[in-house]
Structure 1
C-alpha cells in the first residue's frame, strides 16, 4: 500500500473518526483542498462541506460544519464545530430540514441541511 497519513476527525462533542488514509479532501475558505502523505504543513479554516477520507477499505464521508484543519508530521487533524458521518445522517430528516430552512429563509440552516445531503450522496 502507498504511504498513508493519520487522520483524526473530531467534533466539539466527540471523536467522529480516526484512522489512516491516502487522501483527504475538505473545503477551506480558499476552496477544496486535497491532503496526501508528505503534504506541506497546513493550518486553515474549515468551511461547511463534505469531507472525503480515502482509506484502503473505501471512502469515509462526513458532513462538516466549520472548524479548523491542521497537517504536520503526516498527521491531519480536522477539528469541527459539528461533524456527522454520512451513514449517521437521516436523509428524510435532512430533507425536511432543508425544506423548512428554505421556507424560513434561514441561509445557515439551509446550508447545513444541504451539506448533510451532499455527504450522503457523496457529492462535493
Structure 2
C-alpha cells in the first residue's frame, strides 16, 4: 500500500506482471510528451508511446521498455497497462538491431501508406528498445529489489 510519500505502481502486459511495488516517482513516455508522476499526483488517464518507463525508489531505479499502452493515476496508485514491455536488461541488443535493420530495409520497399505506417512503427519500436537498453547500461544505477513471491 502506498504511503502519503510514495506511489504504488503496477506494470502489466497481457502476458505478465513486470513491476508491483512502491515508488518515489514514475517517468513515462506519454502521448503528449514525457510525464513525471510524483506522490499525490492528480487523477490522470493517458496513452503511452514507445519509450522508457522509469520507476524510481530512493537511490534505485527500474528501467523498462514499453511499446505503448495506457497509464492511469488514481489515489497514489499508478497502473500501467502496456501493449508489450520488458526490463531494460532483458532487451537482446542483437535482436533489436536486426529488427531495426529489417524494418529500415522493408520501409524503402513499402507499397502502400498502410504498410509504410506499420513499418515506421516497427522501426520506432526497435530504435527505442535499443535506446532504452543503452540508457539503462550507461546509468548503471542500482535496481529496485522486489520482494520474492512465494
* TM-score calculated relative to the size of structure 1: 0.92
Question: How far is 1:11 from its partner?
Answer: 0.9
Partner of 1:110: 123
SS at match of 2:67: strand
Indicate the residue corresponding to 2:43 in structure 1: 41
SS in structure 2 of the partner of residue 52 of structure 1: strand
Q: Distance in 2 between matches of 1:23 and 1:99?
A: 34
**Distance apart, 1:86 and its partner CA:** 0.4
Alignment deviations for residues 92-124 of structure 1 (CA, whole Å, 9 cap, x no partner): 11111111111111211111111211211227x
More strand by share: 1
Deviations 1:26-63 (A, max 9, x none): 11111111000011111111111111111225111111
RMSD of equivalent CA atoms:
1.5
Aligned to 2:20: 18
Structure 2 unmatched runs, 5+: 108-118, 137-150
TM, length-normalised to structure 2: 0.77
Q: Rg bigger for which structure?
A: 2
Residues 1:97 and 2:107 aligned together: no
Deviating 4+ runs (over 6 angstroms): none
Displacement of 1:9 in angstroms is: 0.6
> If each structure's helix is expressed as a fraction of its own residues, which one has the higher value?
2
Where does residue 132 of structure 2 map in the other structure?
Answer: 119
Partner SS state of residue 76, structure 1: strand
